[in-house]
Amino acid sequence: MGVSNTSIDFDQKLPKE
């Protein structure tokens, strides 16, 4: 967690449409 958590962290900040 942390290094390969880019897409997950981005998905959490972006609104789920």
Q: pLDDT for 1-17, tens place per residue?
A: 556 666 777 777 776 66
Compute the distance between CA of residue 14 and CA of residue 3 in angstroms, rounded to an integer: 19
pLDDT given for residue 2 in this prediction: 53
pLDDT given for residue 17 in this prediction: 63
pLDDT given for residue 16 in this prediction: 67
Phi-psi domain of 15 (left: phi exceeds 0; alpha: psi -120 through 50; beta: other): beta
Note the Cα 9 to chain centre separation in Å: 2
pLDDT given for residue 9 in this prediction: 72
Query: What does the block give as tokens for 6?
Result: 């880019």
pLDDT given for residue 10 in this prediction: 73
Query: What does the block give as tokens for 2?
Result: 């942390």
Q: What is the pTM of this model?
A: 0.07
